[in-house]
Structure 1
Amino acid sequence: MKYLSWVKSNSEYGVPPAALTDAIAQSGAEQFASGKMLDAGGLSTLREGGAKVSLTGGKITDGPYSEAKELVGGYAIQNHASLDEAKAGAVWMLELHKQHWPEWEGEIEIRQMFGPEDF
């Protein structure tokens, strides 16, 4: 089963420490080689190169951008045998953050992905 997970921080912490990105890159290379990781990457903030388009009250708007309470900093699309396995991967990622960026606080949200074959 494919799962999408994304890392959300509680506030803007700036650029992650090199030790964290190095640890993630090393593990990511192993997961890509094994076929478990399908895609992964970091994401900009809305101010750094993103956009928000919404539909409210029948109107489509681009912006305005209010201060985000949660910022998505990265994502991964992975193959896992179960949701429990996906959660174990998220715990591992949070442990890396705890070890290499102790002041960081946030969460990882996990969602199972569905393709045309599932409908």
Structure 2
Amino acid sequence: MPRYLTMVRIDENNAPEGGPSPELMQRMGDLIEEMTKAGVLLDTAGLTPTAEGTRVRWNGGELTVTDGPFTESKEVVGGYAIIQAKDKAEALEWAKRFLQVHEAEWDVTSEVREIVAG
């Protein structure tokens, strides 16, 4: 079965004050449990804010290292999940369900991409 990486993108500057509500965390936990029992979820985690991150870039034969925060970033990867699904349509359904556990004030995008077997 193919594996998919779902990258959860958020705008750190416009995320709800105080982060996820306890109710959101409960709904997210319930969905993660369901996905785990279904054998779909292989791994998932949230990521620290970009202020705590570092970018390493190779450009023009030179390596640069830049500590966050990254002011030019509007939308950043805030978390991820690796899922195993029968096809892309199933992976998209799980991604949609994950987004729908969020309250209306959240602006969240999930990018779903198949992992190339190698």
Cα contact 1:41–1:76 (8 A) shared by 2:
yes
Residue 50 of structure 1, aligned match among 50, 53, 59: 53
**Could you tell which deviates more after superposition, 67-76 or 10-19?**
10-19
Partner residue of 2:117? 115
Q: Which runs of 5+ in 2 are unaligned?
A: none
State how many pairs are aligned: 112
SS at 1:52's partner residue?
strand
- The whole-number CA distance in structure 2 between the counterparts of 1:74 and 1:29 is 17
1:92 to 2:97 alignment? yes
Q: What residue number does 2:4 align with?
A: 3
Point out where structure 1 has 5 or more consecutive residues left out of the alignment: none
Q: Secondary structure at the match of 1:63?
A: strand
Q: CA RMSD in A?
A: 1.5
Shift of 1:55: 0.9
TM-score, with structure 2 as normaliser: 0.85
Check the 8 A contact 2:31/2:98 in 1, yes or no: no
4+ long deviations beyond 4 Å: none
Q: Identify the structure with the greater helix proportion.
A: 1
Would the aligned equivalents of 2:44 and 2:82 in 1 still touch at CA under 8 Å?
A: yes
The alignment partner of 2:106 has SS state of coil
The 2-side partners of 1:54 and 1:96 are apart by 35
Residue 63 in structure 1 maps to residue 66 in structure 2: yes
Identity %: 30
State the AA in 2 paired with 1:26.
D
Normalised by the length of structure 1, the TM-score is: 0.84
Determine the C-alpha separation between the residues in 2 that align with 1:71 and 1:16: 16
- What amino acid maps onto 1:42 in structure 2? G
